[in-house]
Structure 1
Amino acid sequence: MAKQTSGQASQSQKTSESQKNAKKTAKKMEHVLEQTPKSLLIGTGMTLLGGAMWGMNSTVAKLLMRDYQLDPVWLSCVRALFASLIFLVGSAITTPQKLAGAVKDVKSYPKYLVTTLICVLLVQVSYLMTIDWTNSGTATVLQTLNLVFVLTWVCLRVKRLPLKHELVGVLLAFAGTFLIATGGNFASLSLPWQGLAWGLVDAVSTAAMSILPVMLMLKWGDMTINGITFLMSGLILCPFAQPWANIPALDARGVLLLLYTIVCGTFLAFWLYMAGVMRVGAVRATMLGTSEPVMATITAVAWAGETFTFTDLTGFAMIIIMVFLVR
């Protein structure tokens, strides 16, 4: 009888702790949702700038792979390792307790690994592969299709059908992708099938990036989680990329491009965008994130000499309109 009472007390204590943790999480979510006008303005600027930097980064990566023959896996590995150091140093300076707590949280290690493989490694590699096979503008627009997969996940989870405007958005996304892939010609692909395949993989993994790490970031901070997952991603890629054995010959321009893709295109772009999301919310961030494909397309034309047909631009426009319909 005493054992039973003790067991009930233990179970009651666990339930109480679980309820307390749930309340803490709810308070954090409420804090994210309830923002002052000043915070919303700052968050808007951070999200826009982060998206624009990521869009520019795609063209910089294209120049590195095209002009200096950098392998996409090598580039993913190097920038993940160096960006992780910046994230971890930043976390150690600004939130040392959270960094220490995340390292000691052994139970979360499997979550770190899943987040690393899907939300960092796969996102980085598939995105660079898409850029390598196509161009920065096309790759960034295809990445925007992640919203279709997020919508699918939401509908399955809450057991509902898509709303009318969401269905219109999905149809626009499919039509836009078709125009980009075929140039409007049913008989052939104008886009390499490898580029289309990697682009769709990128869209799926990017969708996961907006879902999987959210609770970890609320608990330990976006800079801490980015630092840990980027470091793990770089270390996992090391045996395949062997960055120490395949150092490319870079001139001053190449070094500057590489520094940009590490510091601005990866660290600052990720940090600004995720910090912006925490201030303005996912819906507003999705709308503001359209700065990414726009900037990627502009810089692809201006810096990399890419050309886009009217059909390509129409497809781009359809997918961007989808962003405002699928929220």
Structure 2
Amino acid sequence: MNKSARRTGLLLVITGAIFWGVSGTVAKKLFQQIDVNWLVTIRLLMAGVLLLAVQFLVKERSQIWAVWKNRRTAFQLIVYGLVGMLAVQYTYMASIQSGNAAVATLLQYLAPVMIIIYLVLRKHIVFTRKDLTAIFLALVGCFFLLTNGSISQLSVPKIAIVWGILSAIALAFYTLYAIPLLKQYDSLVIVGWAMVIGGLGLSLIHPPWQIDFKSLTPETYLYLAFVIIFGTMIAFWFYIESLQSLSPKETSFLSSLEPLAAVLTTVFWLKEPFGFFQWMGVLCIIGLILLLAFNKKPSSNNQSKEDSPLSE
């Protein structure tokens, strides 16, 4: 693995993670005025169009339409847009609306564990003691996060937990399913079209024009612009682009700054209280991600993109 490419991949995934985490908290503010269905629809459509515009202006224009000329690729892209992109966006935002950005983001970080299990079952990697430790930390962390140390009372509504777990499943699929498409086309093309497809799919149920635009304040438009440009367009683009130089597990683990950004902005900006055991849960999950990330050995040229970063 080229060291320069690896450093670029690390920078991309960390930057995207920070934007993604902060945008979740900003979205929580937006839900005071707008509906989750409208936000997901408009952010996907606008961010997707912007990404395709960037591809048209600065990269190979022909790829924008070439992706549709192959039936197999076109089908994969539609599946990716609806089952990957739209599912990740909707479940994550629904979990935020039902609970809060910190819990939604941390629940989403069960995705690396799901990726481990999938790769082990597909025999792409060998299950190690570090994998077992990672799963243990994830489960303990989520238990503390959701219960605040008390089994009898959950710290967030059950529906927020359901949406959060579904978000983790969607993120695992989103990460793994993109690999074959990225081998053929630029990440801008894949992510851009996936967003447009997901936005169009949801707009059939929740048309984006069905909102009273006059009721939106300048502050709302500012938050909306941040969520669309930084929290969607740039965050998803950088996340997928990092898969060019990092493995799926690395990309999901190394984006540990996302839950940290979500937790810090939720607690210090939105002033939502977090109990002692919830903070312990946060430390467990962030510790899990950092443990796996810093135990990565340098990749060799013969190493598969799906080799475990936890191999002994």
Give the TM bin, normalised by the shorter chain.
0.7 to 0.9
Q: Report how far residue 179 of structure 1 moved.
A: 1.3
Q: What's 2:264 paired with?
A: 298
TM-score w.r.t. structure 2 length?
Answer: 0.88
Q: Report how far residue 183 of structure 1 moved.
A: 1.4
Q: Report how far residue 101 of structure 1 moved.
A: 1.4
Deviations 1:60-109 (A, max 9, x none): 1111003x1x1111111000000110111112221212223112223322
Deviations 1:150-203 (A, max 9, x none): 111111100876311111211121111111121111222222110110000000
Q: Which has the larger radius of gyration?
A: 1
Q: What's 1:17 paired with?
A: none
Give the 3 Å change call, closer, same or farther, for CA 188–307 of structure 1 in structure 2.
Answer: closer
Give the conservation status (yes or no) of the 8 Å contact 1:169–1:321: no
Where structure 1 has 5 or more consecutive residues not aligned to the other structure, the ranges are 1-33
Matched, 1:53 2:15: no
Counterpart among 111, 118, 123 of residue 153 in structure 1: 118
Matched, 1:220 2:185: yes
Paired residue type of 1:321: G
Q: How does 1:160-239 map onto structure 2 within 5 Å?
A: 162-239=127-204
Q: Residue 176 of structure 2 aligns to a residue in which SS? A: coil
Q: How does 1:49-128 map onto structure 2 within 5 Å?
A: 49-66=15-32, 68=33, 70-93=34-57, 94-128=59-93
In structure 2, distance between residues paired with 1:139 and 1:76: 15
Give the conservation status (yes or no) of the 8 Å contact 1:98–1:220: yes
Pairwise CA RMSD: 1.8
Aligned residues: 291
Give the conservation status (yes or no) of the 8 Å contact 2:175–2:240: no
Q: How does 1:216-295 map onto structure 2 within 5 Å?
A: 216-248=181-213, 249-295=215-261
Deviations 1:111-166 (A, max 9, x none): 11211122111110000011111111111111110011111111110087631111
Q: What's 1:131 paired with?
A: 96
TM-score w.r.t. structure 1 length?
Answer: 0.84
Where structure 2 has 5 or more consecutive residues not aligned to the other structure, the ranges are 293-307
Q: Residue 171 of structure 1 aligns to a residue in which SS? A: helix
User: What percentage of residue pairs aligned between the two structures are identical?
Assistant: 27
Counting helix residues as a fraction of each chain, which structure ranks higher? 1
Q: Report how far residue 277 of structure 1 moved.
A: 3.2
